[in-house]
Amino acid sequence: MKSKFATKAEYMALISIIKIASIAPKSWLYGFLRGVAWLFYRVSKRRRNITIDNLQQAYPNKEREEILQLSKSVYSELSKTLADILFMLSGRVQLDDLLINKEEAIAKLKALKQNHSHGFVFMGAHFSNWELAPLFASKYGFPMVVIGREGDNQLIDKKIIIPFREAYGNSAIYKKNAGITMVKELKRGGSLGVLIDQKVNKSNGFLVNFFGRKAFTTNSIAMLKLKLNPCIIPISIPRTSEGRYRLDIGEPIEYIAEERDEEKQKLLSMTERYNQALEDMIRAYPQQWFWMHDRWNQRV
């Protein structure tokens, strides 16, 4: 548990960084954060090794040197995401200006609303600027309940992170107690935003394939699909250039594992299908995923 002093000091430090982001040349902030990312890559041996090992396991046919270059790109891309989030927090950039396919994305969102009525689950990963997609969807007709992990600093969560995520009508809740809220939201035909690419406890998920290896993955999306039949939408927002993104809204995943008889087997097969959707989006831009997470750790 952090002391009040440490909590307040971290909060004030972030406020100062946001103020700097509001006035500093954009190229300077990109460069500075790229340098910080490079330093972290060099200093944090454990995270660096996790990143390299994860990439090596996922891409066994790549040469060692190619894996090392890719691992460095992962940190560089993350620094760009942090810079763009700081620009958004400072009000320096507008949401619409970040997307290269704004009108196409709006048209797809409208079509979804016209064709489905049992609620929506927008399913994504910690990929590129993952905060951007639910904000855009909310602004253009899909206010949603966004499920996330509780931060280490409650003051930053309360004063900065939660208001940022709720800026266009979303509701941000912590995943620890999200179950009832998720069900209620879908029953009224609402929308959820969920990132399913991080490790969960054995009691909350299944051990299913992800990049050729078994990984504990939440079973909540499959359970919601079987019980309430929401529209499951894979969504990603790859960075196309510095400060510019494309919102990719995938086709609904209607799969309910009809070839399986037992409910547990249905849930397992469905969860594996969702993992495959994430894997497809990550393989298209591997440098933009959060490879430094210990995703395949099976300790519970």
Over the stretch 53-102, which tens digit does the pLDDT of each residue have?
Answer: 999 999 999 999 999 999 999 999 999 999 999 999 999 999 999 999 99
pTM of structure: 0.93
Q: What residues does each domain of the chain span?
A: 4-288
pLDDT, tens digit, 9 for 90 and up, residues 247-279: 999 999 999 999 999 999 999 999 999 999 999
What is the model's pLDDT at position 299?
Answer: 72
DSSP code of 296? Answer: T
Question: What mean pLDDT do residues 164-192 have?
Answer: 92
Q: Is the pLDDT of residue 298 over 70?
A: yes
CB 274 within 8 A of CB 221: yes
Cα angle at 150 between 144 and 156, to 5 degrees?
A: 95
Report the Cα–Cα distance between both ends of the chain, in Å, rounded.
22
What is the model's pLDDT at position 1?
Answer: 62
CB 78 within 8 A of CB 290: yes
**Of 175, 122, 93, 127, which Cα lies nearest the Cα of 290?**
127
- Whole-angstrom Cα Rg for the chain: 19
CA distances from 61 to 56, 119, 283 (A): 8, 41, 14
